[in-house]
Structure 1
Amino acid sequence: MSWLATLAGYVAPLFLVLSPVFSYSDQAISMYRNKSSAGFSLDIPLIMLVASMLRIFYYPGARFDIALLIQSFLMVAVQLVVLKIALDHRPPPTSKGGEAATPFAGAHEHGIFEKPRPYGFWQWRSPKPYWQFLLYLFIVLTLGELVLAPFRSLYPAYSSLIGYLGLSIEAMLPLPQIFANARSRSCKGFRVSVLASWLLGDSMKMFWFFTSPTEIPWAFKISGLFQAGCDSFLGIQYLMYGNGEAAVKGHFAPTWPGSQHRPMVKRTGSDLGPSTLRTPIISEKDS
């Protein structure tokens, strides 16, 4: 087993560092070539950007393995590119697949995120607020680091807080896909090759987390176990539902301040947008 742990100690960190490129480059290229981000939820870059930024600021207090820090920086870079392409090629809300740009679109139907987001958070039509939010988050985290770092009695608790928060946010990433598959009783648009890469990555990550001689905080281990469980459940869903047509009922258009309710537009399976990474293809009703 010692040789296996040694091998994992070299392969797993390299895989983790490059995983942002492996996971999202195909999605970015597809949206750019098709000139459309239909079917891609903007909550994916939101979750990964916030989680990765929190992990970066967690490092000074935790001093975890450097490979995890490099992965966080690379993930931020990749997700900024993905967000830029998705915003540039986002379809209007009244077009086929237009609800794709609405985060967790359709989740309202089953009580998940039932209340509308304050100020239409991360559902803005203008690209500017997205970049402003990310800039403000970076400024707040930087100020928090500079102000609290000198206070040795407070800083460890603050560092642990943002670390667990960031990893918890990242662990939530599979949940929208799980809810979408369960509602539509289909995994159409969800690539089995992507699922296989996730499960392989989970296996390598878990083995490395629990055998690495370098410091891996328990926050990473708990988050990794939860995410591995979610990915495994996605595999079970794929076996149960297959890749058949989704049971799509309606087309969602977000309600902006001052707008009127809009009726649902019946859709068929042929109206669905292209397949995406961890992107729910789901039915919608107006919130």
Structure 2
Amino acid sequence: MPITYNYFGAMAVIESSIKWIASGAMVIGGVVPYVPQYRAIKKSENSDGFSTYVCLVLLIANQLRIFFWFGRRFELPLLLQSIVMIFTMMAMLNLCVNVQSMHDLTSRRRAFIDFDHRYFWKWTRFSDYVQAVLMFTAIGGYVTYLFNDSVIYVETIGFLAVFTEAMLGLPQFYKNYENKSTVGMR
């Protein structure tokens, strides 16, 4: 019996495979630039060259994108990308806090619950960052629940997500300016 080759069936499999690969690349593509940074911080045990405000910007932008998704659905890989990026930024924060605590000789601890604006996003425990993210998620989720039917609200959230992510370079630029160096940044 001769082997028949179904050209259209094979093309459908190839097309489907390409879509899955592209979706997977989209989901993890945003994380890839932070892998060398994570490794460098872990190896050197020094996070001075990396601005944790980059994590703040990405956490806010990706949470806003998730809130936007509830008002106006977009592709699932982009939603998954936001979720993966949130976990990645939390991992980066955890590493930075652990590294900074190893070298911090002061006994003064700064906490989220202190509500001291001078030390915002400069807390000494990772749990404080988790609390801040959870509070933003709870408040943002509730407000999104209340105003999810408002086109103006949903579009504003979408704009703020894109605008916030577009400002991603500013915290690192400022950190480099303060340090007068790019040492420690990948």
Query: For residue 140 of structure 2, what is the aligned residue in structure 1?
Result: 141
Query: For residue 166 of structure 2, what is the aligned residue in structure 1?
Result: 171
Q: Which of 77, 99, 107 is the equivalent residue of 1:89?
A: 99
Aligned-partner residue type, residue 59 of structure 2: L
Describe how 1:1-287 pairs up with structure 2 within 5 A: 10=19, 13-90=23-100, 91-92=103-104, 118-149=117-148, 152=149, 154=150, 156-178=151-173, 248=180, 274-277=183-186
Q: Structure 1 residues 83 and 179 mapped into 2: Cα distance closer, same or farther (>3 Å)?
A: closer
Point out 4+ residue stretches in structure 1 off by more than 3 angstroms: 9-15, 91-94, 125-128, 176-181
Residue 274 of structure 1, CA deviation: 4.5
Cα distance in structure 2, aligned partners of 1:42 and 1:178? 12
Question: In 2, are the aligned partners of 1:59 and 1:69 still within 8 Å (CA)?
Answer: yes
Question: In 2, are the aligned partners of 1:38 and 1:273 still within 8 Å (CA)?
Answer: no
SS across alignment from 2:77 = helix
Residue 35 of structure 1, CA deviation: 2.4
SS across alignment from 1:22 = coil
Greater RCO (Cα-Cα under 8 Å, separation 6 or more): 2
Structure with the greater alpha carbon radius of gyration = 2
Question: In 2, are the aligned partners of 1:57 and 1:141 still within 8 Å (CA)?
Answer: yes
Question: In 2, are the aligned partners of 1:45 and 1:79 still within 8 Å (CA)?
Answer: yes
Aligned-partner residue type, residue 159 of structure 1: V
Q: Structure 1 residues 171 and 12 mapped into 2: Cα distance closer, same or farther (>3 Å)?
A: farther
Percent sequence identity over aligned pairs: 28
Question: In 1, are the aligned partners of 2:49 and 2:175 still within 8 Å (CA)?
Answer: no
More helix by share: 2
Unmatched runs of 5 consecutive residues or more in structure 2: 1-14, 107-115
> How many residues in Structure 1 have an aligned counterpart in Structure 2?
158
Residue 13 of structure 1, CA deviation: 4.3
SS across alignment from 1:60 = helix
Cα distance in structure 2, aligned partners of 1:146 and 1:92? 41
Cα distance in structure 1, aligned partners of 2:43 and 2:84? 23
Cα distance in structure 1, aligned partners of 2:93 and 2:139? 21
What are the superposed Cα offsets for residues 49-68 of structure 1, whole Å, 9 maximum, x if unpaired?
A: 11111101111212122221
SS across alignment from 1:167 = helix
What is the CA RMSD across the aligned residues, in angstroms? 3.0
Question: In 2, are the aligned partners of 1:20 and 1:78 still within 8 Å (CA)?
Answer: no
Q: Give TM-score scaled by structure 2 length.
A: 0.71
Aligned-partner residue type, residue 28 of structure 1: Y
Query: For residue 203 of structure 1, what is the aligned residue in structure 2?
Result: none
Q: Give TM-score scaled by structure 1 length.
A: 0.48
